Structure 1
Amino acid sequence: MRFNVPLFPLLFQYRLQIALTTKTYFQPDEFWQALEPAHELVYGYGYLTWEWKEALRSIAHPVVFATVYWFSELLRLGDTGVIYGPKVLQALFAAIADYSVYKFAQKYYGDEISKLTLMCTVTSAFNYFVSIRTFSNSLEMTLLICALNYWPLDKTAGQVNMLNYSIALVLAAIACVLRPTNILIWSYLGVALTIRQRSFKIVALAGAIGTIILSLNALVDIWYYQRLTFPLYNFLKFNVVESLSSFYGVNRQVYYIVEALPQLLTVYVPFFFHGIYISRSTTLAQSCIFVVFVYSLISHKEVRFIFPLLPIFHVFAAISLCRLRILSRPKLKWTFLALLSLLNVPLALYVSTTHQRGVVDVTFYIRTTPSIESVGFLMPCHSTPWMSHMHRPDITAWFLTCEPPRGLSHSELTTYRDEADQFYDDPELFLRMHFPAVRGNETDVSRFRYDWPSHLVVFGALEELLTSYVGHAYVECKRFFNSHVHEDPRRRGDVVVFCKQND
């Protein structure tokens, strides 16, 4: 699959502009499970969440961004390379996904549907918002649609091209290394292909390539963790055997149908449902239905989990749009498509430049303010990026943690409260128990979990309570707009920075 010179640079420029102008926060994994481990690996400082201490995650994805940091150091780009290097690389991945889904639709469905697919892809509000973020799901999406360009689907007649099939297997195996759940769609496609071709060679090649990729990944993880460990096994044990993923939230079974798909597709959702109904007899449509069904059986659900399927969903939406009678009339066609696309624009711009931007802006302030010696975040855990954005080895920084319960009985699990929960249950009690007096003569501060830092960061929802507790010991020194509304009451209001006053 060769890049079309006129189209691909335009797509890359488009995604790069989005990446460089996105100033907001979506979910913690973008930073804490990708950039933070990479930053710690290269620079030797940062914070590794409990998943890394328990070896639940492969270092494969963070190594991608660690490479960016290494090159940044080699070229002496400083903070610019640390902050913008990963954005440039992720924009490249997003552009590859855009181009790949266009070529995929063109190969299997023709020019008209491929153009409509590209329109859906580049105007998708959710794609605009997430594809340029450093989630493993985002790279998983790129690998998935690239692999499908080489995969022998229903419309591929005759003998399987083994070279293309091998390329698809390599890309699919890497995607499964990044996110083990990616095996769902590839197992369905693989079984369907095996039944259709009835060839042992297909199964043997899949097994061989899968074994090679998993072995190489195991060597990388052993090098990183400095011990024999298998993150894939640990991941499955935690999420499936122990079912502790439910600690991070439980959703109703129809979540993906009534919540996730409308979030992913916005104005294109009715066309998607129509398109997948039209295509219901194809292996591709059936594999998507299978993946969503299996994910629906798992207690903990997130829209990101099915995000890698979004390019395929756009293909189905394009199939539906192509059937609309209104598109047979040129004047109405372009008016309708333009209005449909433009409906995504306000939402895309708002969530990328405005909603939850304060939690990112505050890290820029910390990075560029030399007078900050230490900083504490009295917020729900992982509310901001960390050293991958602050990039300051000279300061002491802490935040309220939210480690999941391990080794507890069922009755203990039902009453478990992590540190952030304990703080918000009774903030004043927590401060009295875990901090010395704000202005006092404590002789043994080591018996407290925390000491008062030079700067405190809180959400506006906690501002009045904190001001009452600390009195004149701290004063507001900076404020950043964060959101107009927020579904989590703890995160409502501006992000406020308090500075400690000298005695």
Structure 2
Amino acid sequence: MQLNVPLFPLLLQYRLLNALTTTTYFQPDEFWQALEPAHDLVYGYGYLTWEWKDGMRSIAHPMVFAAVYWVSEFLKLGDTGVIYGPKVLQALFASVADYSVFKFAQKYYGEQIAQLTLMCTVTSAFNYFVSIRTFSNSLEMMLLICALNYWPLDKTTVQVNILEYAIALGLGAIACVLRPTNALIWSYLGVELIIRQRSFKLVAIAGAIGIVIVAFNGLLDVWYYQRLTFPLYTFLKFNIVESLSSFYGVNRHTYYFVEALPQLLTVYLPFFFHGIYISRSSTLAHSSIFVVVVYSLISHKEVRFIFPLLPIFHIFAAISLSRLRILYRTTLKWIFIAFLVLVNVPLALYASTIHQRGVVDVTSYIRTTPSITSVGFLMPCHSTPWMSHMHRPDATAWFLTCEPPRNLSPSEIATYRDESDQFYDDPELFLRMHFPALKGNDTEISMFRYDWPSHLVVFGALEEMLISYVGNAYVECERFFNSHVHEDPRRRGDVIVLCKNNNVNRV
């Protein structure tokens, strides 16, 4: 697959603009499972969540961004490299994915469907919102569509091109290392190919490539953890055997069909269903349905889990769009395209530049305000990025944690409340139990989990209660708009920074 010079630079510029203007927060893993471990590895400070302490995550994905930080240090880019380096790299990944899905559609479906696929891809609100974020799912999406360009999908092919087959397997194996659930689509494609080709040679090549990639990743993890560890085993044990992933939320079995797909596809949803119906005999359709159905059987569900399939979904939408008669009439075609764009663009811009931006803005404020010597976040856990954005080795920082119920009995798990839950169950009681007394607040506890920092960060939803509790010990020193509405009542309102009033003495 060769890069088309006129197209690829345009896509790269588009995704760079997309990445550099995205200033909002989506989900914690974008920062806490990618940038934060990389930042800790390179700069020697940060926060490693329980997954990293238990050896449940492979360092492979954070290493991608660690390389960016190392280059930034070599070039002496300072804060600019730390904040914008990962964005630039992720924009490159997203533009490669855009280009690859265009070439794939062109190869198997022709020029018209390829152009319609590209239109769906670049105007997709969800793709604009997520593809440039540092989730492992975003990199998985790029690896999947790149690999499919080399995968022998054509059922009329008598002999498989071994070099292309090996490239596809290599990319697929790397994706599986990033997130083991990628094995779902590759196991389906692999079994279908073996049944079709009936070739032991293909099985042997797949096994050899898999062993090499897994072994190399194993060495990388041993180097990182400084002990023999098997993240894949720990991952499967936590999510499948112990089913503790449900601690982070349980969704109904129809979630992916009635909630996730509409979020992913917006106005392209009806065209996707029509397109997959048209393509119902294809391997691509079968593998996509297989993955979504299997994911539906797992209790904990998130829309980004099926995000790597979005390029394939756009191909099905394009197949449907190609059947519309209005696309053969120039005026109606442009009116229709304008309608699709006008629906997606406002959604994309609002989600990427407005909704939940305060939790990112506050980390920039902390990074650029030397007077902040210590800061505490009285928020639900992982509500903001951490040292990958604050980048302050000289500032002490803490937040309310949400460790899952590990190594507990079933009865203990049933009643388990993490630290963040305990705080929101009764904020005032939590503060009295775990913080020293402020003026006018007595306590009988002599040992405390926390001390009062120079700055506190809270959501507006907690403002009234907290100000009532601290009295004039803290004063508001900054406020950042975060969201107009929020499904989590704890995260509603602005992000407020309270500064310690040094004129008030603690009792």
Q: Post-superposition shift, 1:442?
A: 9.9
Letter in structure 1 aligned against 2:78: G
CA contact (8 A) 2:437 2:443 kept: no
Within 2, Cα distance between the matches of 1:454 and 1:439?
A: 16
- Checking the alignment, whether the CA contact within 8 Å between 1:154 and 1:283 is kept in structure 2 is no
CA offsets 1:194-215 (integer angstroms, 9 cap, x no match): 0000000011100000000000
Q: Which AA in structure 2 matches 1:200?
A: F
Structure 1 residue 59 corresponds to structure 2 residue 59:
yes
Which secondary structure does the structure 2 equivalent of 1:327 belong to? helix
Deviation at 1:440, TM superposition (A): 7.9
Match in the other structure for 2:33 = 33
- Supply the AA of the counterpart residue of 1:125: A
Matched to 1:193, the amino acid is L
Q: Specify the alignment match of 2:84 in structure 1.
A: 84
Name 2:368's counterpart in structure 1.
Answer: 368
Give yes or no for contact 1:154–1:282 (8 Å, CA) kept in 2. Answer: no
Whole-angstrom CA distance in 2 between matches of 1:10 and 1:180: 33
Name the stretch that deviates more: 275-284 or 437-446. Answer: 437-446
Aligned to 1:401: 401
Amino acid at match of 1:105: A
**2-structure distance, mates of 1:441, 1:41:** 41
Alpha-carbon distance between aligned partners in 2 of 1:454 and 1:193, rounded to the nearest angstrom: 62
**Partners of 1:108 and 1:155 within 8 A in 2:** no
Query: In 1, distance between residues paired with 2:341 and 2:390?
Result: 37
One-letter amino acid of the counterpart of residue 24, structure 1: T
Partner of 2:332: 332
Q: Which moved more, 1:333-342 or 1:97-106?
A: 333-342
Q: Give the 3-state SS of the residue equivalent to 2:171 in structure 1.
A: helix
Conservation of the 8 A alpha-carbon contact between 1:189 and 1:287: yes
Preserved contact between residue 15 and residue 95 of structure 2 (Cα < 8 Å): yes
The 2-side partners of 1:429 and 1:154 are apart by: 65
Cα offsets for 1:280-311 (capped at 9, x unmatched) = 11111000000000000000000000000000
CA distance in 2, matches of 1:38, 1:323: 47
Q: Which residue of 2 is the match for residue 487 of structure 1?
A: 487
Alpha-carbon offset, residue 415 of structure 1? 1.1
Q: How does 1:132-211 map to 2 (within 5 A)?
A: 132-155=132-155, 157-211=157-211
Unaligned runs of at least 5 residues, structure 2: none
Q: Deviation of residue 326 (structure 1)? A: 1.7
* Cα distance in structure 2, aligned partners of 1:444 and 1:420: 23
User: Does residue 476 of structure 2 align to residue 473 of structure 1?
Assistant: no
What corresponds to 1:313 in structure 2? 313
CA–CA separation in structure 1 for the residues paired with 2:291 and 2:154: 18
Q: TM-score, normalised by structure 2?
A: 0.98
- C-alpha distance in structure 1 between counterparts of 2:384 and 2:290, whole Å: 35
Q: Secondary structure at the match of 2:191?
A: helix
Instruction: Measure, in 2, the Cα distance between the counterparts of 1:111 and 1:36.
Output: 42
Runs of 4+ displaced beyond 4 Å: 440-446
Which consecutive unaligned segments of at least 5 residues does structure 1 have? Answer: none
**CA 1:445/1:368 → structure 2, altered by over 3 Å: closer, same or farther?**
farther
Corresponding residue of 2:358: 358
Cα distance in 2 for residues equivalent to 1:383 and 1:406? 22
2:108 aligns to what?
Answer: 108
- Aligned residue pair count: 503
Q: How does 1:120-139 map to 2 (within 5 A)?
A: 120-139=120-139
Secondary structure of 1:432's counterpart equals helix
Deviation at 1:439, TM superposition (A): 3.3
Q: 1:202-235: CA deviations, max 9, x gaps?
A: 1110000000000000000000000000101110
Matched, 1:252 2:248: no
**Separation in 1, partners of 2:474, 2:246:** 38
Superposed CA deviations along residues 167-187 of structure 1, whole A, max 9, x for unmatched, are 000000000000100000000
TM value normalised by structure 1: 0.99
Q: Distance in 2 between matches of 1:291 and 1:280?
A: 15
Output aligned runs, 1:432-471, within 5 Å.
Answer: 432-439=432-439, 447-471=447-471
DSSP-derived class of the 1:343 partner = helix
Q: CA distance change for structure 1 residues 441 and 410 in 2, over 3 Å: closer, same or farther?
A: closer
Cα-to-partner distance string for 1:255-299 (whole Å, 9 max, x where unaligned): 000000000000000000000011111111000000000000000
Matched with 2:235 is 235
Please give the alpha-carbon distance, in whole angstroms, between the structure 2 residues aligned to 1:438 and 1:93.
50
**Cα displacement (A) at 1:328:** 2.2
CA deviations over 1:90-125 (Å, ceiling 9, x no partner): 000000000000000000000000000000000000
Superposed CA deviations along residues 5-57 of structure 1, whole A, max 9, x for unmatched, are 01000000000001000000000000000000000000000000000000100
Give, in angstroms, the shift of residue 157 of structure 1.
Answer: 1.7
CA contact (8 A) 1:372 1:454 kept: yes
Distance 1:144 1:399 in 2: 36
Aligned to 1:378: 378
Distance 1:74-1:239 versus aligned 2 partners, 3 A rule: same
Separation in 1, partners of 2:438, 2:216: 53
User: Contact between 1:120 and 1:341, CA under 8 Å: does it hold in 2?
Assistant: no
Show the counterpart of 1:267.
Answer: 267
Partner Cα distance (1:434, 1:443) in 2: 10
**What is the CA deviation profile of residues 326-376 of structure 1, one whole-angstrom value per residue up to 9, with x for unaligned ones?**
222222122212211221011000000000000000000000000000000
Contact 2:194 2:202 in 1 (8 A): yes
> What's the CA shift for 1:156?
5.2
Aligned to 1:420: 420
- Tell me the residue number matched to 1:46: 46
C-alpha distance in 2, partners of 1:32/1:329? 49
Higher alpha-carbon deviation: 131-140 or 322-331: 322-331
SS in 2 for 1:394: coil
Q: Deviation at 1:467?
A: 0.2
Q: Which residue of 2 aligns with 1:301?
A: 301
For 1:344, what is the secondary structure of its paired residue?
Answer: helix
Question: Alpha carbons of 1:381 and 1:166: their partners in 2 closer, same or farther (altered >3 Å)?
Answer: same
3-state SS in 2 of match to 1:80: helix
Letter in 1 for 2:174: I
Q: Which moved more, 1:153-162 or 1:182-191?
A: 153-162
Contact 1:19 1:88 in 2 (8 A): yes
Instruction: State the 1:438 CA deviation.
Output: 1.7
On the 8 A contact 1:106/1:113 being kept in 2, the answer is: yes
Give, in angstroms, the shift of residue 409 of structure 1.
Answer: 1.8
Q: Which amino acid aligns with 1:346?
A: P
Report the 3-state secondary structure (helix = DSSP H, G, I; strand = E; otherwise coil) of the residue aligned with 1:150: coil
* Distance in 2 between residues matched to 1:428 and 1:156, nearest whole Å: 69
